[in-house]
Amino acid sequence: MTRPPTVLSTSSNKRQNADPTPTRARSARIIGTVVLPQAVIAATGLYTPPHSISNAELVEAFNTFVERFNAANAEAIAAGDVVALAPSSPEFIEKASGIKSRFVVNKDGIVDPDLMRPIIPERPNEEISILAEIAVEAAKQAIERWGKPVSEIGAVICAASNMQRAYPAMAIEVQQALGIEGFAFDMNVACSSATFGIKTAADFVTSGSSKAVLMVNPEICSGHLNFKDRDSHFIFGDVATAVIIEDADQAQGGWEIMGARLKTQFSNNIRNNFGFLNRAAPEGIGAKDKLFVQEGRKVFREVVPMVSEMIVQHAQDLGVDPTGLKRLWLHQANINMNEMIGRKVLGRDPAPGENVIILDEYANTSSAGSIIAFHSANDDFAPGETGLICSFGAGYSAGTVFVQKRP
Ligand code: COA
């Protein structure tokens, strides 16, 4: 089948039902008079680290640290020169966030009250980096489920909140480890990295520059989490996910990307000031703001309406009834946020399993959360049924990817 010339859309994103070219009925998108190839999520993969930490274990380490701090500073606290630290509690964590446990690449260091950080030794340059390693594990599963040779992949995108180093790009290391030709690059849009990665990959596919793209999300969130901060020490976990995005003309089955939309709006409410210029201001090195910090309440209040409106508007523009979506695979940060967004989008209390929750077991895994949810709960879909992958987080940033199961 010959492909019509690709012309960039200048008009609306609206999905049209009437396709004048019968052979393209399932694999093309018509925008005005222009027919574009369609992109498909062809396969996904998940790597889960071996160690899990329960809330009770995390809190035990935190509270031991607090007791020791308060004992060591008893005089200064009594004199009013130092503020005593308050203990954490597993009950608060589960009630406020829905999180019960999290997976991590290293447990020993995190639950050691003397350390409270992961222990991840440096590796020689000749060895694969740990971030690339977990990405490769997730990618291998996606490639196996896809069932095609890596020679059919033309590009690799590593989309994650934190890269292991400044350069060379993590994606290029992943590309080399898997023996993939073409090109690779990193991108970071914090918790929204995966949906931004899917949209970028889909644009490569629909513009004809790659037939298939591997997009990976290795997230070692324990590396940027302040385990000594009561307000946030429970939030994150580690994981890696992978998604293969492919040209619909050659994909078998999979999920048609009906539409992908991205949005950003600047906010200081989720921030991490770690960066290459820190050494130029050594007085700030080791300060709290060089790890993840957030105004959790403000994030909650501002992001829920932003994301709910974005989903409903995008659905409307695609001609999709949001109340008819079979499943929501939302970003996994906070169960109360997901329940509110679920109710606003579906117009009712979501039935069990309709609004997939994996954060109880995985905690917030940044960009990977919505992909874990999608990966873990999509095999009961019949062709034609629709769902939504949606991310939101620092930036603020948000991404919506509506998908439809293909025959
Ligand atoms: N253990 C026990 N109590 C705690 C505690 C802990 N670890 N941390 C805070 N508290 C207490 C506070 O001291 C406060 O007490 P007060 O009411 O007596 O002052 C109370 O619990 C509420 O604290 P607050 O921080 O306002 O909790 P919250 O209900 O807003 O929940 C979050 C905190 C972080 C779970 C929640 O705000 C959230 O998830 N927000 C969105 C986060 C998000 O999506 N971030 C995106 C990251 S990508």
Q: Which atom of ligand 1 is nearest to the CA of 59?
A: 7
d(CA 329, CA 255): 14
Average pLDDT over residues 49-58: 98
**pLDDT of 4 higher than 90:** no
Average pLDDT over residues 111-134: 98
**From ligand 1's centre to the CA of 139, what distance in Å?**
35
Average pLDDT over residues 53-57: 98
Q: Residue 333: phi, psi to the nearest 5?
A: -115, -40
Decide: pTM greater than 0.75. Answer: yes
Going by CA atoms, what residue is nearest to atom 10 of ligand 1?
231
Quote the pLDDT of residue 352.
83
224, 231, 292, 299, best to mutate for ligand 1 pocket (most atoms within 8 Å of CB):
231
Quote the pLDDT of residue 87.
98
Confidence of residue 31 (pLDDT cuts 50, 70, 90): low
Q: List the structure tokens of 219.
A: 């997230």
Q: Is 158 tagged catalytic?
A: no
pLDDT, tens only, 388-398: 999 999 999 99
**pLDDT of 19 higher than 50:** no
Q: List the structure tokens of 211.
A: 């037939």
**pLDDT of 23 higher than 80:** no
Average pLDDT over residues 332-349: 95
Quote the pLDDT of residue 171.
98
- Nearest CA to 245 out of 209, 219, 294, 269 is that of 209
**pLDDT of 10 higher than 90:** no
Average pLDDT over residues 114-129: 98
Percent of the chain with pLDDT over 90: 90
According to the 3-state scheme, what is the secondary structure of the chain? CCCCCCCCCCCCCCCCCCCCCHHHCCCEEEECCEEEECEEEEEEEEECCCEEEEHHHHHHHHHHHHHHHHHHCHHHHHCCCCCCCCCCCHHHHHHHHCCCEEEECCCCCCCCCCCCCCCCCCCCCCCCCHHHHHHHHHHHHHHHHHCCCHHHCCEEEEECCCCCCCCCCHHHHHHHHHCCCCEEEEECCHHHHHHHHHHHHHHHHHCCCCCEEEEEEEEEHHHCCCCCCCCCCCCECEEEEEEEEEECCCCCCCEEEEEEEEEECCCCCEECCCCCCHHHCHHHCCCHHHCCEECHHHHHHHHHHHHHHHHHHHHHHHCCCHHHCCEEEECCCCHHHHHHHHHHHHCCCCCCCCECCCHHHHCECHHHHHHHHHHHCCCCCCCCCEEEEEEEECCCEEEEEEEEECC
Q: Residue 46: phi, psi to the nearest 5?
A: -140, 130
Task: Check the CA dihedral 146-359-164-188 and report its sign.
Answer: positive
**From ligand 1's centre to the CA of 87, what distance in Å?**
13
**pLDDT of 1 higher than 60:** no
Going by CA atoms, what residue is nearest to atom 8 of ligand 1?
231
CA angle in degrees (0–180, nearest 5) for 61-64-67? 155
User: Which residue is listed with tokens 């050691």?
Assistant: 112
**pLDDT of 94 higher than 70:** yes
Quote the pLDDT of residue 163.
97
291, 297, 396, best to mutate for ligand 1 pocket (most atoms within 8 Å of CB):
297
Q: Are 220 and 366 in contact (CB under 8 A)?
A: no
Q: What is the mean pLDDT of the chain?
A: 92
pLDDT, tens only, 251-309: 999 999 999 999 999 999 999 999 999 999 999 999 999 999 999 999 999 999 999 99
- Nearest CA to 212 out of 259, 254, 159 is that of 254
**From ligand 1's centre to the CA of 337, what distance in Å?**
13
Quote the pLDDT of residue 29.
62
Please report how many Cα atoms fall inside a 13 Å half-sphere around the Cα of residue 331, on the Cβ side.
30
Q: List the structure tokens of 86.
A: 């308050």
pLDDT, tens only, 136-192: 999 999 999 999 999 999 999 999 999 999 999 999 999 999 999 999 999 999 999
Q: List the structure tokens of 314.
A: 């995008």
Percent of the chain with pLDDT over 70: 91
Q: Which of 158, 191, 221, 390 is catalytic?
A: 191
d(CA 276, CA 274): 7
- Nearest CA to 240 out of 167, 322, 292, 162 is that of 162
Quote the pLDDT of residue 6.
35
**pLDDT of 32 higher than 80:** no
89, 291, 299, best to mutate for ligand 1 pocket (most atoms within 8 Å of CB):
299
pLDDT, tens only, 206-258: 999 999 999 999 999 999 999 999 999 999 999 999 999 999 999 999 999 99
User: Which residue is listed with tokens 């939030």?
Assistant: 235
Pocket of ligand 1 (CB under 6 A): 88-89, 92-93, 96-97, 191, 230-231, 270, 294, 296-297, 299-300, 333-334, 337, 364, 393-394
